[in-house]
Structure 1
Amino acid sequence: MRKLQFIILLFCLWGRVCCAAEAVVPVIPTMVTVCARTGADVAEDSTVLRRSLGFIVEQEGFLLTTYESLTVPETGTLLPRIEVQLSSGAAQQAYRARVIGVEPTLNFAVLKIESDASFEVSTILGDRELLPGEPIFALTQADRPELHLVSGRLQSLNSKECYQQDLTATMLAAEIEIPSSGIGGPVFDGTGAVIGMYTGYHPPEDEDEHLDEEAELTHILPIFLAFNIYDSIKQRQSLASPWTGFSVRPLNAMEQQQFPIAQGKFTGGIALEYIWENSPAQAMGLKVDDILLRFAYYPIHSPADFQKWLYLYGVGRTVKLYILREGEILLQEYTIEERPAWAIPQ
């Protein structure tokens, strides 16, 4: 009897191991290799200066990759010819692509494959909540053209929604080692759903003082943040980072009690969390804890709203900012500026 129980126990343990093994074999999302060339035409002296990964997000051929992988290292200008290679089994197909828009601060870019074909789209994480400790995966291309899978686990979620001042806090942190050959590629869960993109971002050294010296964390751009401004960048075809000189946060419970105000015209807003010195916000006299009610014609109820409309209007457009301060509504007019090089978020 004991021998039978022992055999049954072994069977159960073996089943658990098999299930666990199956759980960590991920579905691979649709991948592309992006090649940025020096010459505008193949007939010219055209060499691949930059190479990265990317992933398709619309069947018409729109895809995401990193901005820096499309630029000349010394000058930061966009390289004249962009090509993408799609792999399907042993076969590879190359296409010309054009830059639709970029976000230099977040280091991501939107490309469009120049073809009327319909392309397989990567699955994007939906409403499922990410959990610290869950397994995650990424692909690298160290030995081209083969892709290599790397795995790890999600360590922590982002603590802020607005990256304007604190970029590190808006990133996912993970215990996963992704080499430079994985830059631009998606980071995904076991179902193949993309949760973020590896942009090669490294926080300033002092940001990492609290981390275990034996396991430096990898920072990943959350897909929700990229998609929050994706449509705005695509529609605006923006090639610059717009900014106002302030970052924002959701309202706390006490601030929410002030609404509705002005005969119900304003039902919420977001609070200013940080004001850059020598910035447009400082020049306008804005203050920390001011509440932004409306951006141009649009009510603002979340940091995502603010970032979406900031990019949709873009550099050079003049907008009206409706500000609540100590019960009084203030109106400020602002022509959106490009983020200067000195105002890089931490």
Structure 2
Amino acid sequence: MSCSDGEKVFLIVMKLSVKQLAIYLCLVAVGSGAGLLSSRYLWRESHSFQQLKNVTVALPSESMISHSTNGSINAADGDNVNFIATAVQKVGPAVVRINATRKVTNSWFDLGKNPVFQRFFGEDEQPIPPERIERGTGSGFILSENGELLTNAHVVEKTDTVLVTLKDGRTFTGKVVGVDPVTDVAAVKISAQNLPKVDLGNSQNLIPGQWAIAIGNPLGLDNTVTIGIISATDRTSAQVGVPDRRVSFIQTDAAINPGNSGGPLLNAKGEVIGVNTAIRADAQGLGFAIPIETAARVANELFTTGKAEHPFFGVETTDLTPTNKQQISREHQIQIQSDVGVVVKNFAPNSPAPASGLRPGDVIQKINNKPIKTSAQVQKLVDSSKVGDIFTVEVNRNGKMRTLKVELGAYPQK
């Protein structure tokens, strides 16, 4: 039986359509499977990214952390606790909020005595009170189980008592045992026992780039944690912009704001390596801390005697650079020939150094047989000494070496 040309064309189209339909169905099936497969793996990738984000950014809640009998920290999910969280859980309970209230003389008080004001308010009325109340908030941390606390001097200055609040909510009236404005360290005592306390570390061998963790109450936000690195060490008071202080500061990029003052700066182990101090209102991305060795030494003196005594060298020095050499040579009409050491620029009032024979323009090359290359080294040597210690100072004066003896005096109190 023969088919017409039209029937042949119809059969060919039908065959093609069936084949195309089979191909289309196969493509749909493959595409659906691939979609489900890719969806499954994409979801897993997104989920793992979220977990990674939680590890690097979020601190764990207390429900995620369990404490073993030996005091170590275990995690319900180990990926959610990093060294920062571990350090914070370890030290956090020993960090306190300090609320200080002080009476300050009102600078506008005398204006109220002006007859013009009295004409409006009456002679018996006092429109401007003689004193005003200032309130401030800072941080501190517990040094001993029996209630010895360390904070910044500027947090508790001009007040005898403060309100101390622990992380667990307990509050105590704290007695300001002593204040040392030279180092900005203060000692506070509260009547309590078996308190959590911090572990003190070592700031002497810090290297820029190491982790730094700050805990405190910035801007009234309790128990705030910030993380950064050690940006620099041995920053002199002059470099930081507080020449009246006697501290070789630790510089960090961990955020330190008003209210952080007096709180601890920690290393990766959760040990205190410094005392945070918000001393530069214009600092952005920079914070400074008092080395824990200096702060602990001063705090111990304050708890023991109520005051701190500081050795006094009384020499203003500058690092030896070509520019400094030329400038000092012109100012003092001398010829500085040495390229190593620090240059004596001037002396503080009542300094013990001039009596030993030191002169402006002398290049200090060694102190007690230790080579001197920077002014920061001189300050650290003085800070680690005691009143009455004798420095053997080797200087280069006009190309000739001289050895002088300087007895450290007591830093003059204001």
Q: TM-score range by the shorter chain?
A: 0.5 to 0.7
**Any residues of structure 2 matched to 1:171-186 within 5 Å, and which?**
171-186=249-264
Larger relative contact order, structure 1 or 2 (CA cutoff 8 Å, min sep 6): 1
**Any residues of structure 2 matched to 1:180-329 within 5 Å, and which?**
180-189=258-267, 192-202=270-280, 215-227=284-296, 229-232=298-301, 234-235=303-304, 237-238=306-307, 242-246=311-315, 274-279=344-349, 280-281=351-352, 283-284=354-355, 285-286=357-358, 287-289=362-364, 291-293=366-368, 304=380, 306-310=382-386, 313=387, 318-325=388-395, 329=403
2:193 matched residue in structure 1: 117
1:254 matched residue in structure 2: none
2:144 matched residue in structure 1: 58
Distance 2:256 2:408 in 1: 41
The size of the alignment, in residue pairs, is: 280
Q: 1:339 to 1:199 in 2, by over 3 A?
A: same
Distance 1:171 1:199 in 2: 10
1:193-250 deviations in Å (ceiling 9; x for gaps)? 33322222118x7xx8xxxxxx54233333344235544555554256553213689x
Query: What percentage of aligned pairs have identical amino acids?
Result: 14
Distance 2:298 2:317 in 1: 16
SS of equivalent residue, structure 2 residue 252: strand
Distance 1:273 1:82 in 2: 45
SS of equivalent residue, structure 2 residue 405: strand
Q: Please state how far the C-alpha of 1:140 moved relative to its aligned partner.
A: 1.5
Which of 99, 107, 132 is the matching residue for 2:209? 132
1:196 maps to a residue whose letter is G
Q: 2:143 touches 2:150 (CA, 8 Å); kept in 1? A: yes
1:222 maps to a residue whose letter is P
Q: 1:187 touches 1:198 (CA, 8 Å); kept in 2? A: yes
Q: 1:104 touches 1:240 (CA, 8 Å); kept in 2? A: no
TM-score, with normalisation over the residues of structure 2? 0.53
Q: 1:132 to 1:319 in 2, by over 3 A?
A: closer
1:120-159 deviations in Å (ceiling 9; x for gaps)? 212333478555274633322645xx61414242261214
Distance 1:88 1:172 in 2: 26
Q: Please state how far the C-alpha of 1:52 moved relative to its aligned partner.
A: 2.2
Q: 1:157 to 1:236 in 2, by over 3 A?
A: farther
Q: Please state how far the C-alpha of 1:99 moved relative to its aligned partner.
A: 1.8
1:223 maps to a residue whose letter is I
1:258 matched residue in structure 2: none
Q: CA RMSD in A?
A: 4.3
Structure with a larger share of its residues in helix: 2
Q: 1:182 to 1:120 in 2, by over 3 A?
A: same
Q: Please state how far the C-alpha of 1:94 moved relative to its aligned partner.
A: 0.9
Q: In the alignment, does 2:95 pair up with 1:31?
A: yes
TM-score, with normalisation over the residues of structure 1? 0.62
Q: 1:201 touches 1:220 (CA, 8 Å); kept in 2? A: no
Q: In the alignment, does 2:405 pair up with 1:331?
A: yes
2:272 maps to a residue whose letter is V
2:181 maps to a residue whose letter is P
Distance 2:175 2:261 in 1: 18
Distance 2:132 2:301 in 1: 32
SS of equivalent residue, structure 1 residue 198: strand
